[in-house]
Amino acid sequence: MLRMSNATPAVIAVLVAELVPAAAFGFAGERVAEALGRLSLAVRVTLPALLVMPYGVIAVSKHIFQWNWFALYAVLPVVMAWLLARAAVADPEQRGNWRDAVILLTLGLAVDLRWFDVAWPAGLRGLNNLLLVDAGLYAFLGVRRLSGTGFDFHLHWSDWKMGLRELLFFAPAVLGLGLALGFIHPHANVPALGKAALTWAGIFVFVAVPEELFFRAWVQNLLERRVGRRAALLIASVLFGLSHFNKRLTASTAHFNWRYVLLATMAGIFYGRAWRERRRVPASAITHTCVDWLWSWWF
C-alpha cells in the first residue's frame, strides 16, 4: 500500500486520478467498453498514453523526472492496448492468445520484481502498481473485452457469503501449518475500530482487488479455457504463491521464502475458489482482505 505520511496535493491528485479508471470499469465497465468501442482503432490504442501523466506529475514535483521512464509509461499502455486489439481479432472465442500471456507475464514480473519502483519516490511506489492496474484494465476490459472476469465494485450479499465462507475454510489450515513451520507468531493487538476499518478498506482497495484482478480475473479465467477449472485453480494458486517468494525476507530466507510461498499458494486456492463460485472478484477480494487484515493485527 501507499505510505501517505508524505502526501502532498500533487500526490493526492495523482492518487485520485489513478483511482478514476478503476472506478469507471468497476461501476460501469460495460458502458465504458462500449464507449471505447465507438472510437477508431487508432484513437482507442493511443488513448492510454495519457497514463503517463501520473508519473510526470510526481516526477516533476519530486524533482526526479527522467525521460526514459516517461517514455516507458507513455509507450507500455499503448503497446498493451495494441497487442490486445490484435488478440481480439485473432482469438474472438477468447480461449487465450500468446499476446495475453506476454502482457500478463510482463505485468506480473514488473510488479513482483519491482522493475519500475526506482522511478518513484520511496513511499509512493504503490502509485506505479495502480498505474499498471489501470493499463491492464484498459487493455483487457476496454479493448480485449475479456469476458467472465467478474470485476466490478457492486458488492452483493453473495460476495460476502462466498468470501467469508472461504475464510472460515482457510483459517484452520493456515493456522496449523503456519504455526508448525514457525512462520506465524500470534500476538495480542486490539486496534481502534476506526483504524481497523480504514486498514481493512485500504487492504481491499490497494492490495486485494489488484491481486485478485490479476490472478483470478485474468490468469485463472484464461487458464480455465485451456486446461479446465481444477488445473486452472492449481496453476493460478501456485503462481500466486511464487509471487510471494521475496516477501517477508529474513536472514535465513534471503533469496527464496519458501514458507511464504507455500502458505500463499494455499491461500490462492481458497481465493480462487471464492472467485470461481460465481466468477466474482469482490468475493475473492473479501477473503484476501480478511486474511491480510487478520494477519496484520494478530500474526
Q: Residues 194-245: pLDDT tens digits?
A: 888 999 999 999 999 999 999 999 999 999 999 999 999 999 999 999 999 8
Q: Give the residue, 122 or 191, on which the prediction is more confident.
A: 122
Confidence of residue 179 (pLDDT cuts 50, 70, 90): confident
pLDDT at residue number 251 = 44
Rounded to 5 degrees, φ, ψ at 182 are: 70, 25
For residue 248, pLDDT over 80 is answered with: no
For residue 3, pLDDT over 70 is answered with: no
For residue 276, pLDDT over 50 is answered with: yes
Confidence of residue 5 (pLDDT cuts 50, 70, 90): low
What average pLDDT does this structure show over 140-146?
97
In this structure, of 10-14, 126-130, 168-172, 243-247, the range with the lowest mean pLDDT score is 243-247
Confidence of residue 191 (pLDDT cuts 50, 70, 90): confident
pLDDT at residue number 183 = 77
pLDDT at residue number 1 = 58
What average pLDDT does this structure show over 174-199?
81
The verdict on pTM exceeding 0.85 is: yes
What average pLDDT does this structure show over 22-38?
96
Q: Give the residue, 247 or 110, on which the prediction is more confident.
A: 110
Q: Give the residue, 14 or 254, on which the prediction is more confident.
A: 14
Confidence of residue 62 (pLDDT cuts 50, 70, 90): very high
pLDDT at residue number 189 = 74
Q: Give the residue, 37 or 6, on which the prediction is more confident.
A: 37
Distances (CA, A) of 80 to 122, 132, 215: 27, 10, 18
User: How far is Cα 211 from Cα 133, in angstroms, rounded to an integer?
Assistant: 9
Q: For the chain, what is the mean pLDDT?
A: 92
Which residues lie closer than 8 Å to 237 by C-beta, 6 or more apart?
265, 266, 267, 268, 269, 271, 272
The torsion of the CA quartet 112, 7, 68, 255, rounded to 10 degrees, works out to -20
Percent of the chain residues past pLDDT 90, beyond the cut: 79
What average pLDDT does this structure show over 129-148?
97
Confidence of residue 174 (pLDDT cuts 50, 70, 90): confident
